[in-house]
Amino acid sequence: MDIKSLKNFLAYRPPVRRMILGNGLLPARQVMFIYGEYSTWKSWLAQELAYAVSQGKPWLCWETTKVNVLIINSEISEGEYQLRWDAFVRNRNITPGSNSLYINSSLDVKLDVPGSIGEIRTAIRQHNIELVIIDNLYSSTIGNISRNDDANRVIANVKLLALETGSA
């Protein structure tokens, strides 16, 4: 625990925050959740976010910083996910050529299991990933994400991963 006097606390100058998304919407080392009902296009929104940030292009109405992005799909099979990305690329008339967007479609990624967190940490370091998108949270856990204890474990693991690696 780091205890400071009021004077020292007010004298502290935090490091400059590197923005990944928007002006304060998502700084590096922070966590953001996109929540919505079933079938409300969250996965497509995540794809748009992954592509926009990997290219340094605006996402919705926010500017982005071009960084390496890892999007982890733990919801649908790799073949189905590939079809989804193929449709995305074709409909947007994109030529995939940049090595700044990485995709993992392992259905066994679990954010409440140390082994999975370790694998994500390794991937972040190997590919210099600065933004990790996990689609979707519910299928990325073993526990019941609607229970506070299980949800808090996942959130703590994700926040610690962001702090340790510098990724968002």
* C-alpha–C-alpha distance, residues 93 and 104, integer Å: 22
Instruction: pLDDT tens for the chain, 168 residues: list them.
Output: 889 999 999 999 988 888 999 988 999 999 888 888 888 888 899 999 999 999 999 999 999 999 999 999 998 999 999 999 999 999 989 888 778 999 999 888 888 888 889 999 999 999 999 999 998 887 888 888 788 888 888 889 999 999 999 999
- What's residue 41's pLDDT? 87
DSSP state, residue 37: -
Using an 8 Å Cβ cutoff, are 131 and 70 in contact? yes
Taking Cα atoms as reference points, which of 52, 75, 74, 60 lies closest to residue 131? 52
DSSP state, residue 74: -
Helix (H, G, I), strand (E, B) or coil at 62: strand
